[in-house]
Amino acid sequence: MEKLSAKSDHIYLGEAIVKKALAVMIQHNLVKFQASERNNNVAEYTMIHHNVYCLIRYPKYLYMIKRIYGTSEEILLEILLNLGQASASNVIFHSANRLNEANDSEVLSPSALHQSFQRLAQDNFIIRCPKLAENATLLKVPTLEIEEKEKFAVPNVEIEPIARMLKEKATQLGGHCDSEIIWRVNHERFDIELRNVILVNAAARRVDTTAGELYHLILKLWRESSNPDSPVTTPVSYNVIKDAVRKNDSSPILLEHFDHYLRVLYEDSAGLIDRAGDAGGGQFNLDYSKVFENLACASLDSIVLERFGSKALRLFRLTRIQKFMEQDQMQNVAMIPAKEAKMFTYKLLEHNFLQIKELKKGTSNFAPVKSFILYHVELPQVVRTTLEASYKGLFNAMVRQMHDLTENQRLLEKHAMLESMLERLKGDGVPDEEIAELSDTMPPAEKSLVEKIHLMSDNLTLGQTQADETILILESYLKFKSKEL
């Protein structure tokens, strides 16, 4: 929490820049403010860490929305992400503009976009920002408040002014009736959705795609009936699931073998479905902490496998499952020769995948004190270390990408300009020889360098996305573990 004057002292950029930067960050939901306790005219600013981290997940959000709904919802969300906070009319207006640019025919009318907007709000992917309190305009630091029931209520949007502005090709929507009702992206809902995607993929990999479909349906049922904050979902009965499968347009295989799939899923050791009772043909629920513990362990296993090899993995899994083991016991049960076992044990210990517990066995005072050295895996600690390492990897990828792009900025800009010129000329119908001549102004060595830079930048982006998935699994495990305590 810092005051504006404190910030200006720390950052020698100049007060105007600091103010602009703060305003932009507040607009994009990265920083929040409240009136300072001592002096009501001054605001104190806090950073919302989670939202800043979620910036990297924006493309994933768009992909999910595209898959669940379609293009118009995707464009609405993209516009909202670009603007940070905006009113419904504004978002609809800009989306219509963007769609018209993309296809030259006016495919979607504002009212269709309005319906898409309502769909997004109904499923809670977008949420209303708190509105200005009544006397807020008189205060130096406005207070913002919102009631629970208003959070997802879409106001009436007047379509005609929007349609009119679109026809006039205006770039800005002027004043409009719902300009005080501001929306933003609902990060928590997207987190839940990302987690569900991981679970459905796990089910699909464990059994097969039809099982994934079934699991997706069951997840929806759970979500409708349970409190999102609880670590265990409310049980759902067999008959309800069967009805949902029949109502939903599922594949015929699922309808036929629905029983079998359900049974396979709940007997599986991954804990994707737990059988909680027998009423109504069987009650099924999901224990998030158990599922995410299994997923986190699986992630750790694959990390150990890739870094140290399969023998080390055997030792790691053994120790994790057996809780406490001595060195000799480990090498006997894992059936690995002594020297190798010792080497791998030490390596795992060095990288903090194994922890040591010493138990003294002091008997007489004269004999040397013997102690048992027991190895164990303390899961929360190991997960936290791996999480830190993942953050570091993500950070490294981002820094490297930034470095590459800024170092070669001149070259990349030159290339981009050349490309756009060539496009334009091709569109105008200039003969091929001139185009070839123009493209020769850039030597092939430079072109291949540009290619290489793009390739590296792409790989780094992919690497960041994948690191983010691991981070999501590990963070979810820690979150549900702390909830159950």
Partner 1 sequence: MGGRGRGRGNAVSFNIEQLGFGRGEAGPVSVTQPPPLFPSLENRPLPLIKDVENEYILVTQKDLSTRMRNSPFYLKPSENTSYEKELPVLWNRMPAELRETLPKRLATGNSKVTLNAKKKKVEDPDKIFAKLEKKERTESEVEEDGDGKEDEDDQDKSDDEKVEMEDDVVEDDDPEMDDETDYANNYFENGEAYLDDEDGQDDGEAQF
Beta bridge partners of 236: 284
- Collect all residues with Cβ–Cβ distance below 8 Å to 144 and sequence separation of at least 6: 129, 130, 131, 132, 133, 136
Q: Are 430 and 438 in contact (CB under 8 A)?
A: no
- In angstroms, rounded to a whole number, what is the distance separating the alpha carbons of residues 278 and 260? 17
**CB closer to partner 1 out of 23 and 356:** 23
**CB closer to partner 1 out of 95 and 285:** 95
Phi/psi of residue 355, nearest 5 degrees: -120, 155
Smallest separation (angstroms) from partner 1 to the CB of 247:
28
Q: Burial, 312: exposed, middle or buried (Cβ in 10 Å; 0-12, 13-18, 19+)? A: buried
Q: Are 133 and 143 in contact (CB under 8 A)?
A: yes
**CB closer to partner 1 out of 129 and 442:** 129
Q: Which two tokens stand for residue 221?
A: 């049922």
Smallest separation (angstroms) from partner 1 to the CB of 364:
11
Smallest separation (angstroms) from partner 1 to the CB of 373:
9
Q: Which of 226, 258, 264 is nearest to 244 (CA)?
A: 258
- In angstroms, rounded to a whole number, what is the distance separating the alpha carbons of residues 443 and 36? 60
Smallest separation (angstroms) from partner 1 to the CB of 11:
12
**CB closer to partner 1 out of 184 and 481:** 184
CA angle 231, 237, 239 (to 5 degrees): 150
Smallest separation (angstroms) from partner 1 to the CB of 284:
29
Residues that bind partner 1 (CB under 8 A): 3-6, 13-17, 19-24, 26-28, 33, 39, 41-43, 58-60, 62-63, 66, 78, 81-85, 129, 132, 137, 139-142, 144, 175, 182, 306-309, 339, 342, 366, 368-369, 458-459, 461-463, 465-466
Smallest separation (angstroms) from partner 1 to the CB of 93:
13
Smallest separation (angstroms) from partner 1 to the CB of 85:
6
**CB closer to partner 1 out of 83 and 435:** 83
Provide the sign of the torsion angle of the four alpha carbons 444, 449, 453, 456, taken in this order. Answer: positive
Q: Which of 466, 465, 421, 469 is nearest to 441 (CA)?
A: 421
**CB closer to partner 1 out of 82 and 225:** 82
**CB closer to partner 1 out of 36 and 248:** 36
**CB closer to partner 1 out of 247 and 361:** 361
Smallest separation (angstroms) from partner 1 to the CB of 176:
11
